[in-house]
């Protein structure tokens, strides 16, 4: 039996017991995230000034969406922005204190991490509404303290799940334990068949498509009495910055520009240079971590909902940028999944 197979068949254990004196840090962090999440549900979330100023909490906004027959938006907010973050936090607490087989725990944490970014859906909907109302005469939107609590809760949730995954990996699935003594150097470019030589072109195509996705307008406002404007990711970021929304500007830059491009750069760098099995394993983990913060797909869902379901509030006209975002997502997903599949097989060979 190989070392990797031994770790897969390892008996159940508790992370809280294996972490020693520092084991209290994780449940304390998760408790803080849970409190921030619950607070975000009830305090003011967004103020909309349209023929009179109205302040909405997150729960109130769901009720408003339902009463105005925007059923899909209401359901998505409940599922992704209310139910799942609470489910994820409680699940991580249970994972921390429960006796579970390392392989089972590792897979479940990975599923929670992969789905975690979809909780950002509501934040992107709010950002799009703010961008649409920027420099408009008849409508204005103002973020409230609830939005800040929500961002803290969701990002904190993602960071805590990463911390739990890192501790679990170090204690039970440490790549240094599996591959540390293997000094053999591998070259993915020439060792993975036709895919090996195709991957650099896919990575390059992905980076170019992301640049187009950032620069091309994704919709145009076509609604009287609002001023007609076209928006791309770039101009949306610029509008937020000029309106003094520094935190949301950084949010957009990191998650829609930096993370997607960095994911592809890491894949290309791993693919093009000689590395040991241990180095490839570490790089795969880094690609996964950065990929979890790449949110073009979440932004596309929010954008699609605003364009289709939001017709009752603001009429918009679809522009080529929305298709560029789809292409960028397709390239990124293809490169990530294909590289992970091929490199995992290379590690097991």
**Among 112, 136, 111, residue whose Cα is nearest residue 51:** 136
pTM given for the model:
0.88
Residue given tokens 């709010």 in the structure block = 126
CA-atom Rg of the chain in angstroms: 22
Number of C-beta neighbours around residue 59 at 10 A: 16
User: Using one digit for the tens of pLDDT, what is the confidence trace for 7-25?
Assistant: 566 778 888 888 777 678 8
Whether the pLDDT of residue 121 is over 50: the answer is yes
H-helix segments, the chain: 3-8, 15-18, 25-42, 58-67, 71-76, 84-97, 102-116, 121-133, 145-172, 175-179, 188-191, 193-215, 233-242, 246-253, 259-272, 277-292, 296-308, 321-348
Task: Report the C-alpha gap between 120 and 68 in whole angstroms.
Answer: 23
Asked if residues 324 and 209 have their Cβ atoms less than 8 Å apart, the reply is: yes
Angle at 147 between CA 68 and CA 54, to 5 degrees: 45
Distance of alpha carbon 88 from alpha carbon 115, whole angstroms: 9
Confidence band, pLDDT 50/70/90 cuts, at residue 176:
low
Q: Give residue 282's Cα distance to chain centre.
A: 20
Contact in structure between 201 and 189 (CB atoms under 8 Å): no
Question: d(Cα 38, Cα 18) in Å, to the nearest integer?
Answer: 30
Model confidence at 322, pLDDT cuts 50, 70, 90, reads very high
Q: What is the DSSP letter of 134?
A: T
Residues 6 or more apart in contact with residue 111 via CB below 8 angstroms: none
Q: What is the pLDDT of residues 286-318, one digit of tens each?
A: 999 999 999 999 999 999 888 887 665 667 778
Q: Measured between alpha carbons, how far is 184 from 122 in angstroms, rounded to an integer?
A: 47
Mean pLDDT of the chain: 85
Tell me how far apart the alpha carbons of residues 49 and 56 are, in angstroms, rounded to a whole number: 11
């Amino acid at each position: 039996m190989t070392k990797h197979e031994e770790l897969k068949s390892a008996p159940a254990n508790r992370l809280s017991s294996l972490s020693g004196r520092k084991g209290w840090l994780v449940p304390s962090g998760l408790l803080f995230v849970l409190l921030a999440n619950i607070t975000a549900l009830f305090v003011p979330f967004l103020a909309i000034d349209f023929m009179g100023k109205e302040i909405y909490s997150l729960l109130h906004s769901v009720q408003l969406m339902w009463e105005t027959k925007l059923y899909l938006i209401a359901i998505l907010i409940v599922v992704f922005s209310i139910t799942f973050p609470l489910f994820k936090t409680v699940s991580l607490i249970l994972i921390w204190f429960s006796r579970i087989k390392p392989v089972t725990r590792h897979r479940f944490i990975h599923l929670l991490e992969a789905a975690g970014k979809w909780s950002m859906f509501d934040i992107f909907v709010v950002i799009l509404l703010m961008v649409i109302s920027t420099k408009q005469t008849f409508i204005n939107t103002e973020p409230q303290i609830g939005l800040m609590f929500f961002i803290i809760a969701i990002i904190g949730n993602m960071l805590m799940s990463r911390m739990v995954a890192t501790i679990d990996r170090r204690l039970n699935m440490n790549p240094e334990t599996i591959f540390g003594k293997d000094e053999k150097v591998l070259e993915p470019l020439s060792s993975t068949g036709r895919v090996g030589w195709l991957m650099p072109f896919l990575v390059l195509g992905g980076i170019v498509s992301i640049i187009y996705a950032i620069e091309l307008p994704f919709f145009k406002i076509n609604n009287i009495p609002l001023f007609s404007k076209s928006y791309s990711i770039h101009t949306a970021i610029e509008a937020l910055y000029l309106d003094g929304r520094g935190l949301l500007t950084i949010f957009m830059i990191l998650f829609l520009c930096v993370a997607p491009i960095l994911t592809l750069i890491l894949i290309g760098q791993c693919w093009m240079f000689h590395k040991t099995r241990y180095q490839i394993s570490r790089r795969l983990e880094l690609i996964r971590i950065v990929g979890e913060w790449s949110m073009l797909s979440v932004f596309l869902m929010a954008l699609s909902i605003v364009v289709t379901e939001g017709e009752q509030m603001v009429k918009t006209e679809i522009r080529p940028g929305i298709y560029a975002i789809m292409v960028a997502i397709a390239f990124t997903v293809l490169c990530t999944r294909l590289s992970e599949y091929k490199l995992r097989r290379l590690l097991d060979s």
